[in-house]
Amino acid sequence: MLEKEFEEEVIDSEISEERYEHKRLVVDAGQSAVRIDKYLAERFASSSRTRIQDAIDSGFVWVNAQPTRANYKVRGNDVICIAFPDPPADIELIPEDIPLDIVYEDDHVLVLNKPTNMVVHPGSGNYSGTLVNALLHHFKGSENVQKGLRPGIVHRLDKHTSGIMVVAKTEYAHAHLSKQFHDKINERRYQALVWGDMRWKFGTIKAHVGRAGHDRKIFAAYPDGSVGKHAITHWRTIERFGYVTLVECKLETGRTHQIRVHFQHNGHPLFGDIDYGGKRIVRGSMQIQGYKHMVDNALQILPSQALHAKTLGFYHPENGHWMQFDSELSPGMKQLIQTWRDFSYHTLKINQEDMQPV
């Protein structure tokens, strides 16, 4: 149901174990200068120019071992490497009786809290136990399910990211909500625990987000805009704990792994983020008594990054009323924050006033 133009706006979407069709070619020495998207479209008749441009924008096309842009003009002897994602195979979706924490529901939308450690949509390695499996069971008997329509996932959260989500129950609601995400007229706020002492009250991170060249499953920041898609994250400090900081993030764009990538780029990776450096003790003195032991214990509290989708606001697709929802932090994230708070106050002797941003 999701239109292609809106597909680019999904939040922190799961990176599925897609199969990739790898291509490598060397440009003829006498080749005249021509845009790479046009050049590749002429050589891969089975692939549309749009598919090629999407591959370039996503960081799947490299020239001479460097990611490229669609307007790059190929030159003789250029070495071009491409990794086209294969179209995903059809997956049989099975309804499963999995409890859902539903915050609101009517005939058009459903708002819920996704728990930590739940995948949103089935993919390779995750064919059951997903949010979609649970929604199919919840919607069992509804007109949409009877028609064979899938639950309308408007935006997604990573497996280990907890928090508030909206699901469309009709085709119209899905199109309406997707356009809100695309036009950036909804509101999305997250809370994250990041490494380092964020002493400023607020800030903004601007850097394109695109595939990392060394690993297609993760992303990287490209502040010069050479690769990836435009991305902006606004943040403000909520509470400081000396070596980690609780921040609120407001997304202006919705790129895959945006918050995680931006804070790694900013030198403050999310605590516990295995993909972006958050499992390493990157701040703090090992000479402080009990510090390493405390950090090791804290890393066991959450399975991955300390990130929670706290607030979601949108216009109701049917009546146009503004709706806003706020969710409780997950139990694991609450415990993690309290662990750092206790350590800061009692071990580091940092008082409440010192924890306020300057």
Decide if 4-13+90-183 and 20-85 have a common fold. no
Question: Nearest 5°: phi and psi at 167?
Answer: -125, 135
Check residues 254 and 73 and name the one with the higher pLDDT.
Answer: 73
Catalytic residues: 158
**pLDDT single digits (tens) 147-165:** 545 678 888 898 899 999 9
Reference 260, options 246, 244, 245, 271; nearest CA is: 271
CA 46 to each of CA 38, 52, 72, 287: distance values in angstroms, whole numbers, following the listed order: 14, 11, 22, 61
**Contact in structure between 27 and 76 (CB atoms under 8 Å):** yes
Look-up: residue for tokens 């809106």?
6
pLDDT for 207 beyond 50: yes
CATH of the domain spanning 187-355: 3.30.2350.10
pTM over 0.75: no
Query: What's the pLDDT at 179?
Result: 85
| Range scoring the smallest mean pLDDT among 193-197, 278-282, 296-300 | 278-282
CA angle 53/54/56 to nearest 5° reads 65
Query: What's the pLDDT at 264?
Result: 96
Mean pLDDT across the chain: 83
**pLDDT single digits (tens) 170-199:** 888 888 898 888 888 999 999 999 999 998
Q: Under CATH, domain 4-13+90-183 is a member of which superfamily?
A: Pseudouridine synthase (3.30.2350.10)
- Reading the block at residue 169, the tokens are 């129950």
Domain ranges of the chain: 4-13+90-183, 20-85, 187-355
CA 155 to each of CA 8, 141, 170, 249: distance values in angstroms, whole numbers, following the listed order: 10, 24, 15, 17
Look-up: residue for tokens 């949108």?
314
Instruction: Please tell me the number of Cα atoms within 13 Å of 214 on its side-chain side.
Output: 2
pLDDT for 50 beyond 50: yes
CATH of the domain spanning 20-85: 3.10.290.10
